[in-house]
A and B are shown apart, each in its own frame.
Chain A
Amino acid sequence: EAGVAQSPRYKIIEKRQSVAFWCNPISGHATLYWYQQILGQGPKLLIQFQNNGVVDDSQLPKDRFSAERLKGVDSTLKIQPAKLEDSAVYLCASRIDRDVYTFGSGTRLTVV
């Protein structure tokens, strides 16, 4: 079974620029999550999708972050404009049932 694919692996941008991350979950996994993991902290949920609908985006900074999951498969997370404090690893995870998650390797974002 293929894992959760994320790209790019690394991204360095200047503050106020925009950036987008891509996630391809495991085939058939209806639930998809985006997490932000700041160095030394645990992952923080940004947004949860069920198929192509948003279930929970209460912690998503909507003034600068946006996410979509077209056709209930791939998902993109965008930041515009980026701030220094957005430097983190952005993890995508998918789930088919219960509480068994499969995580991607993440995208490490550095904002300078």
Chain B
Amino acid sequence: KQEVTQIPAALSVPEGENLVLNCSFTDSAIYNLQWFRQDPGKGLTSLLLIQSSQREQTSGRLNASLDKSSGRSTLYIAASQPGDSATYLCAVNGYGQNFVFGPGTRLSVLP
């Protein structure tokens, strides 16, 4: 059974810092890995999707990497802003299977 963990559970940084969020999964036979953002009282918004054949994906100040063999992914946020404050969740799925979500990292970027 696939399990997804995320470290740290919460993170507080001053504005402008670069930061890394970590995601680990127990079964390396994944099809996709996806990073989501969740604002308080809102649903999830997809940030980046990495297919199993890819090593990383970039969108603006966000860069996500995937190391299937070690069961890890990182989300790098450059030059953080207060508007980046949210909970970030990663999720993985196997081929033809539904996503399994991690518990998320709650990020606070202080002005």
Contact = CB atoms under 8 A, between A and B. Distances in A.
Interface string A6-35: 000000000000000000000000000100
Interface residues of A, number: 22
Given A101-B44, A103-B45, A105-B43, A42 B98 contact: no
Interface in B20-55: 32, 34, 41-46, 49
A45 B98 CA distance: 8
A67 interface: no
Contact of B44 (A41, A43, A108): A43
B43 A104 contact: yes
Contact of B101 (A44, A104, A105, A108): A44
B102 A48 contact: no
B4 interface: yes
A42 B43 contact: no
B43 A93 contact: yes
B53 to A, nearest CB: 14
Contacts of B103: 40-42
Interface of A: 4, 33, 40-45, 48, 56, 91, 93, 98-106, 108
